[in-house]
């Protein structure tokens, strides 16, 4: 059986420079989801043309837009690049340029040309769940995202904040603290299950 060997991380994209190459539908979709998850993301875009919706979104979030064809010089100073053009050759050029400079790259809809995937994301306050199908089925990730949005309670942030305060008061070494928090959270989950029945 195949398995997902990706290692999930949560990036502080407000401290990283992200470049989106392209200005069409896919670029707008990637920009929308990136800003929805991380409104303070540091993003620049390069494309000879942009959709009206992309321009409006970029202006709202202070995104720098270069109206130009892609050149490797646009990679300078970037940590991550998302290639979204409708030209396979341009996207593959972006990929190879990034690999030469050790820049993480995602070529939309082309899994072999991706160092990372942009999966489904659910955010409720401080809680964030990322979903990956190993680049195989964005539709499945979308359906799972909708499921988790419904299942995770709106007040989950209260629980997180209260547990954080409680954690500060626990005495003992690391293992003892983990055990105490496990016992405490187990009873909360059991209580919630009883309340729902």
In whole angstroms, give the CA distance from residue 91 to residue 97.
Answer: 10
Residue among 128, 108, 133 nearest 36 (CA)? 128
Dmax over CA atoms of the chain, in Å, equals 60
In whole angstroms, give the CA distance from residue 86 to residue 22.
Answer: 8
What digits encode the pLDDT tens for the residues 147-193?
A: 988 888 888 877 777 777 766 777 777 777 677 667 766 765 554 44
What digits encode the pLDDT tens for the residues 112-134?
A: 999 998 888 888 888 889 998 88
- Is the per-residue pLDDT at 197 higher than 70? no
- Is the per-residue pLDDT at 111 higher than 80? yes
In whole angstroms, give the CA distance from residue 4 to residue 152.
Answer: 24
What digits encode the pLDDT tens for the residues 65-84?
A: 999 999 999 999 999 999 99
In whole angstroms, give the CA distance from residue 67 to residue 60.
Answer: 18
Residue among 81, 116, 90 nearest 6 (CA)? 116
For the sheet with 64-67, list strands across it: 64-67, 42-47, 17-21, 80-83, 104-107
Report the mean per-residue pLDDT for the chain: 88
Query: What pLDDT score was predicted for residue 192?
Result: 47
Predicted TM-score (pTM) of this structure? 0.81
Query: What pLDDT score was predicted for residue 181?
Result: 66
Q: Are 107 and 92 in contact (CB under 8 A)?
A: yes
């Amino acid at each position: 059986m195949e398995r997902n060997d990706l290692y999930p991380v949560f990036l502080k994209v407000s401290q990283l420079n992200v470049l989106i190459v392209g200005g069409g539908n896919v670029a707008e979709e990637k920009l929308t989801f990136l800003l929805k998850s991380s409104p303070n993301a540091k993003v620049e875009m390069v494309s000879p043309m942009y959709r009206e919706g992309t321009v409006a979104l970029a202006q709202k979030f202070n995104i720098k837009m270069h109206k130009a064809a892609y050149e490797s010089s646009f990679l300078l100073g970037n940590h991550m690049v998302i290639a979204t053009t409708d030209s396979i050759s341009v996207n593959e050029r972006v990929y190879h340029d990034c690999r030469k400079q050790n820049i993480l790259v995602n070529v939309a809809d082309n899994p072999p040309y991706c160092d990372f995937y942009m999966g489904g994301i659910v955010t409720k306050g401080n809680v964030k769940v990322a979903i990956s199908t190993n680049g195989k089925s964005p539709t499945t990730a979308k359906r799972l995202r909708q499921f988790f949005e419904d299942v995770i309670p709106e007040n989950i942030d209260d629980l997180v904040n209260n547990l954080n305060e409680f954690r500060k008061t626990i005495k003992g070494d690391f293992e003892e603290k983990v055990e105490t928090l496990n016992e405490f959270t187990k009873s909360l989950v059991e209580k919630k299950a009883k309340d729902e029945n």
